[in-house]
Structure 1
Amino acid sequence: MASLQSLLLFPGPSGCSIPRARTAFVPTTRVSEVSNGVGAIRKGGLVVSRPLAVRGVDEPRVSNGDRKNEKPIIVIDNYDSFTYNLCQYMGELGANFEVYRNDELTVEELKRKCPRGILISPGPGTPQDSGISLQTVLELGPSIPLFGVCMGLQCIGEAFGGKVVRSPFGVVHGKHSLVYYDESLGDTLFSSLPNPFTAGRYHSLVIEKDTFPSDVLEITAWTEDGLIMAARHKKYPHIQGVQFHPESIITTEGKRMVNNFVKSIETLEYSIPKP
């Protein structure tokens, strides 16, 4: 059997390496209960159990690595109930992941888990209330695919010099909005999606457009009234996030966005030659 070293593709944080994704697998069963395709989230981390939901024809199951060599996608839960819906999508897509609250482990402990991807969830408050999220963006983002949702996007913006402010249009909760994206950017979270698409928004804060750090980040999606709805890093485009909620039933293409994120992890792994 090939050694772990022979499967490694590119370095992660603190000398970790990310294993090549090879074949589909059934996620582990180290959970206390499973309902509707996702394990019950508990303190101390979660590993999704066997996904139960049937995917759609246009939602291919993500191909994942040999179970012994597979590293998880780590979900940082910013104490938000929407996190569970994101996990539901991840489980249905066959992704192996673990969930930790934003104050449940340190960034150094997170590095030692050698995740192949990171998802930063929505949450109440501002990026300053997000535990390890900001530091995670800065320290792990350059080497690991990272997807920020709602406050997760705000963490990306603030981490790289942006300013998070109150939306000039006030609080929105469950608002339908048309979101437009830049098709010229190539592969993004929105690849193969209609343009525009309908998104569900639940927020009062946004990344300020006037002070947007355009030397480091680029805006990838926006509303008709010009609010920033998505952005990514210019040098490290695998650091990306959205202001709306892809897991909301209002967001018609949300599951495909999550699938695009999970597939992008494999794309990055396969793009780097074997040593």
Structure 2
Amino acid sequence: MQAKLLLEDGTLFTGRSFGAQGDTTGEVVFNTGITGYQEVLSDPSYCNQIVTMTYPLIGNYGITRDDFESVRPFVNAFVVRRYEPVPSNWRAEYTLDELLKEHGIVGISDIDTRMLTRILRNHGTMRGILTAGEHSVEELQEMLLTSALVKDQVQKTSTPHVYNSPGHGERIVLIDYGAKSGIVRELSARGCDIVVVPQDVTAEQVRRLNPDGIQLSNGPGDPKDVPHAVETIRELLGEYPIFGICLGHQLLALAGGADTEKLKFGHRGGNHPVKELATGRCYITSQNHGYTVKEDSLAGTDLEITHINNNDKTIEGVRHTKFPAFSVQYHPEAAPGPFDNSYLFDRFIEMIREHKKSSPKQPRQAAMMAAMRGAR
């Protein structure tokens, strides 16, 4: 069946449909990864977006249970140059087409993704509509114009309930703004006792869990759309060590008095070079974000830059000069290196242990159980 992708600037792409049938709108973005389409589809940070893969062959190794980053995909639609319906991989359990059909995600193949990517790079990300139906171009334009802008992505992707991933080490409260499972995996590998809480958790609810440290997760959308999260982080700054990733990085910066702005076309892929200023070392990182911390907004705050992007010099990491808190814009749990950036989790644990030496905690099991009962 024929499928159409219409951008808000009027550009029309016509290709072949795969995945679910129907119509969907969203922000059209591109990802430069050569592999990892399953991880892209299941990354909550892509919520409500139409994702274009720049690598031309997608679907060739199928879908496997172990590679999901969340319980289900969150993208609105998927755009590829060529879809391979028959995967060649001993780990494959089913096909990409079956995954998209299962979750109602529309896909389009056999379009010029190089042209689409060039448009987005030149003019910036823009809204679009993808259909596998019989709508005319005029109907699609009207549907796109009347579609509403969505700003509740964090609420959609966050867990609604508190849950625990037990461990015998440091207790980490992971505030879930759309967290990838890789964050839990990295913390669990270090023996942490992880309590995952919803995005609208209050500072008092966090305190009742008596954590050793707080992890701010990745997530979708504009950080200014979740002002309650900024207020919670601001209230907790200085009380507990904090480590922010992606959206968590932007929220920490806002809580510290800085500002954020939207990038022209964002950073999405597994090949972004980032320089650590303290060592001069360059790391290849996995990224997925459309917003960045404004450098000139750091003046007068207690935040200092720790990492920069080698391509466009945008801020990729900050730390608080007075409190035990730091963050990075990229995904250290995504392992494109494959383990180049996992040291950041080790640094977080070391920060927690240093903090505990200066402010020992009281026994906490009863407090945690009471807080979890109250949160339910």
Band the TM-score falls in, shorter-chain normalisation: 0.5 to 0.7
- 1:25 matched residue in structure 2: none
Q: Are residues 42 and 201 of structure 1, via their aligned partners in 2, closer, same or farther at CA, if it must alter by over 3 Å?
A: closer
Question: Does the aligned pair in 2 maintain the 1:148–1:240 contact within 8 Å?
Answer: yes
- 2:262 matched residue in structure 1: 166
Which secondary structure does the structure 2 equivalent of 1:75 belong to? Answer: strand
Which secondary structure does the structure 1 equivalent of 2:218 belong to? Answer: coil
How far residue 172 of structure 1 moved from its aligned partner, in angstroms, is: 2.1
- 1:261 matched residue in structure 2: 348
The amino acid of 2:172's aligned partner reads I
Q: Are residues 172 and 124 of structure 1, via their aligned partners in 2, closer, same or farther at CA, if it must alter by over 3 Å?
A: same
- 2:274 matched residue in structure 1: 179
For 2:210 and 2:326, locate their aligned partners in 1 and report how far apart those are by CA, in whole Å: 19
- 1:74 matched residue in structure 2: 173
Q: 2:213 aligns with which of 117, 121, 124?
A: 117
Which secondary structure does the structure 1 equivalent of 2:186 belong to? Answer: helix
- 2:188 matched residue in structure 1: 91
Matched, 1:243 2:329: yes
TM-score using structure 2 length: 0.50
Matched, 1:64 2:163: no
Instruction: String of CA shifts for 1:174-224, please: whole Å, max 9, x gaps.
Output: 14122111227xxxxxxxxx8111111111100011222354210011012
Q: Quick check: which one's strand share is greater?
A: 2
Matches within 5 A, 1:1-275: 43-49=160-166, 64=169, 72-80=171-179, 82=180, 84-103=181-200, 105-130=201-226, 132-168=228-264, 170-183=265-278, 195-224=281-310, 225-236=312-323, 238-250=324-336, 252-271=339-358
The amino acid of 2:325's aligned partner reads I
How far residue 79 of structure 1 moved from its aligned partner, in angstroms, is: 2.5
For 1:180 and 1:172, locate their aligned partners in 2 and report how far apart those are by CA, in whole Å: 15
Question: Does the aligned pair in 2 maintain the 1:162–1:207 contact within 8 Å?
Answer: yes
Question: Does the aligned pair in 1 maintain the 2:159–2:176 contact within 8 Å?
Answer: no
Structure 1 runs not aligned, ≥5 long: 1-34, 51-62, 66-71, 185-193
For 1:272 and 1:47, locate their aligned partners in 2 and report how far apart those are by CA, in whole Å: 24
Which secondary structure does the structure 2 equivalent of 1:173 belong to? Answer: strand
How far residue 259 of structure 1 moved from its aligned partner, in angstroms, is: 2.0
The amino acid of 1:135's aligned partner reads E
- 1:8 matched residue in structure 2: none
For 1:247 and 1:273, locate their aligned partners in 2 and report how far apart those are by CA, in whole Å: 29
The amino acid of 1:87's aligned partner reads V
For 1:229 and 1:214, locate their aligned partners in 2 and report how far apart those are by CA, in whole Å: 19
Structure 2 runs not aligned, ≥5 long: 1-65, 72-157, 362-376
Question: Does the aligned pair in 2 maintain the 1:102–1:133 contact within 8 Å?
Answer: yes
For 1:250 and 1:214, locate their aligned partners in 2 and report how far apart those are by CA, in whole Å: 35
Q: Quick check: which one's helix share is greater?
A: 2
More displaced, 124-133 or 255-264? 124-133
How far residue 158 of structure 1 moved from its aligned partner, in angstroms, is: 1.3
Q: Are residues 42 and 163 of structure 1, via their aligned partners in 2, closer, same or farther at CA, if it must alter by over 3 Å?
A: closer
Q: Are residues 267 and 125 of structure 1, via their aligned partners in 2, closer, same or farther at CA, if it must alter by over 3 Å?
A: same
Which secondary structure does the structure 2 equivalent of 1:211 belong to? Answer: helix
The amino acid of 1:162's aligned partner reads A
The amino acid of 1:260's aligned partner reads R
Aligned-pair identity in percent equals 25
For 2:296 and 2:270, locate their aligned partners in 1 and report how far apart those are by CA, in whole Å: 24
Structure having greater relative contact order (Cα 8 Å, sep ≥ 6):
1
Which secondary structure does the structure 1 equivalent of 2:163 belong to? Answer: coil
Q: Are residues 176 and 140 of structure 1, via their aligned partners in 2, closer, same or farther at CA, if it must alter by over 3 Å?
A: same
What count of residue pairs does the alignment treat as equivalent? 208
Which secondary structure does the structure 1 equivalent of 2:178 belong to? Answer: coil
Which secondary structure does the structure 2 equivalent of 1:98 belong to? Answer: strand
TM-score using structure 1 length: 0.67
- 1:13 matched residue in structure 2: none
Instruction: String of CA shifts for 1:10-62, please: whole Å, max 9, x gaps.
Output: xxxxxxxxxxxxxxxxxxxxxxxxx89xxx99753222246xxxxxxxxxxxx
Answer with 1 or 2: which has the greater Rg. 2
Question: Does the aligned pair in 2 maintain the 1:160–1:213 contact within 8 Å?
Answer: no
- 1:191 matched residue in structure 2: none
How far residue 273 of structure 1 moved from its aligned partner, in angstroms, is: 8.5
**Runs ≥4 in structure 1, deviation > 6 angstroms?**
none
